A and B are shown apart, each in its own frame.
Chain A
């Protein structure tokens, strides 16, 4: 859909729904929300913007940054210390690298 054709109130509503969706362990929705709402919220000069739009945009942004940090840290920890975890490491691994034959 084209956001620029929607009313600012509807834009804010959609932004809010994206934020709520992202709260269910879905930072990808936050990412999409941020990328999509940056333009209508910050760049285009709306004659009557909805104040909530910017708020939801920043909420999505903060959520995105926070969850990315968590995700990256967890992966770094797991990848580097996987062997040293022993049994826990094995039970957490979904794919065991077989190496080349």
Chain B
């Protein structure tokens, strides 16, 4: 069984450039997951460099391909945001922090009434959080650099374990309390046990792709809800902006930790932490990882995935071409060499989390005003599409957060303070524009 041991990332065929770069998981230490996907056809392997540009006969095909790629990401992001928004709006205890429990690294709790001081506190909290994230990222990069795969894998496992069991336990309980459902202890723990274990199997082991995607979306939604609940109100907004600036710097700057991570992964020709990225498609390929048997240029259709991505990685790999060309006998010889072939865009979970935080806060702070929610949602989608566009142009790892978050924040404040009251007044006076 070509099982990939967690600490031994699969070797990919040289044609693929995948290496999705994922930054520290935002799941345990609340560090954001910045998904960075690096995809370059030149993985430095000995195989002949293939030009992975997709070839289209008709410009319509290019448009359609781009649209499909965009949709493959917008759909899961929308589902995650939908989950978070409905949870925030329907179950009041998800945003009710009257016990004043906060993270220990947001020491200022914004209990002052002076808006200047409040903003200053929010800024201080945000800076502390960004520093924490930076430290975590550097730690992750160091661990990765020195090949401490066991520690890394253990960390990921612990993070998903905590999220899928403990956090979902509290939210499940809140959900049942909200809807007055008398649940007995057996059923509750039984459901939790099932949910958690299947989640761990789905994310870290083998499971149908849809299930893995579903669990990744769910865990992102849970982490977003945690953030929405336990961050002071203004701090959340400042953090969003601060983290997107951090993302921008960390990915694009030469000394940025994420960029270093991407480069290391690219040098080693490895995939980064499949548990921390959302892949829209994944194909398990049992084939030769031997570089001498790479695919030739005879199958251009398989190379369509070579589009750069931001946190989006499309690893164009010539699938079965590898195995087939070397002959079935050879594939049998090395059954333990499996290759992950990833097609379709990938997005890091951190982006899911922060988009959902933005929309959840927009929903909560505007008291469920649909105009605001819709404006923010559209802003995020437009930002994501713009990022995809940049990705195709630049063909490098790009941060997915900055554009969307900027649009989202601008539209939140614009909608809340300008557009919504305007529309309300128009509605009251029955003026239709």
Contacts and interface: CB of A to CB of B under 8 A. Distances in A.
B195 interface: yes
Contacts of B194: 25-29
Interface stretch (B35-43, B158-166, B172-180, B353-361): B172-180
Nearest to A79: B182
A29 B211 CA distance: 11
B283 A2 contact: yes
Given A2-B284, A5-B285, A29-B197, A13 B1 contact: yes
B206 A21 contact: no
Given A25-B193, A32-B198, A32-B207, A5 B283 contact: yes
A6 interface: yes
Given A5-B286, A92-B184, A10 B1 contact: yes
Contact of A98 (B180, B208, B320): B180
B238 to A, nearest CB: 36
B201 interface: yes
B201 A29 contact: yes
Nearest to B1: A10
A75 to B, nearest CB: 6
A14 interface: yes
A45 to B, nearest CB: 18
Q: Is chain A's binding surface mostly helix, strand, loop or mixed? A: helix
Interface string B320-346: 100000000000000100000000000
Contact of A14 (B206, B282, B285, B286): B206
Given A28-B194, A32-B198, A97 B182 contact: yes
B190 A25 contact: yes
Interface string A18-36: 0001001111110010011
Interface residues of A, number: 33
B433 interface: no
A1 B286 contact: no
A96 B182 contact: yes
Contact of A94 (B2, B185, B211, B284): B185
B183 interface: yes
Contacts of A24: 197
Contacts of B183: 93-95
Interface size class of B (residues with CB under 8 A): 20 to 34
Contacts of A74: 186-187
A79 B202 CA distance: 31
A94 B175 CA distance: 12
A21 B194 CA distance: 10
A54 interface: no
Interface string A60-101: 000000000001001100110010000000001111111100
Interface in B138-177: 173, 176-177
B197 A26 contact: yes
Contacts of B63: none
A13 to B, nearest CB: 5
A24 B206 CA distance: 18
Contacts of B206: 1, 14
B286 A6 contact: yes
27 contacts: A1-B207, A1-B209, A1-B284, A5-B284, A5-B286, A6-B284, A6-B286, A14-B206, A21-B201, A26-B194, A26-B198, A32-B208, A71-B190, A75-B187, A78-B184, A78-B187, A82-B182, A92-B185, A93-B185, A94-B183, A94-B184, A94-B188, A95-B173, A95-B176, A95-B181, A95-B183, A96-B182
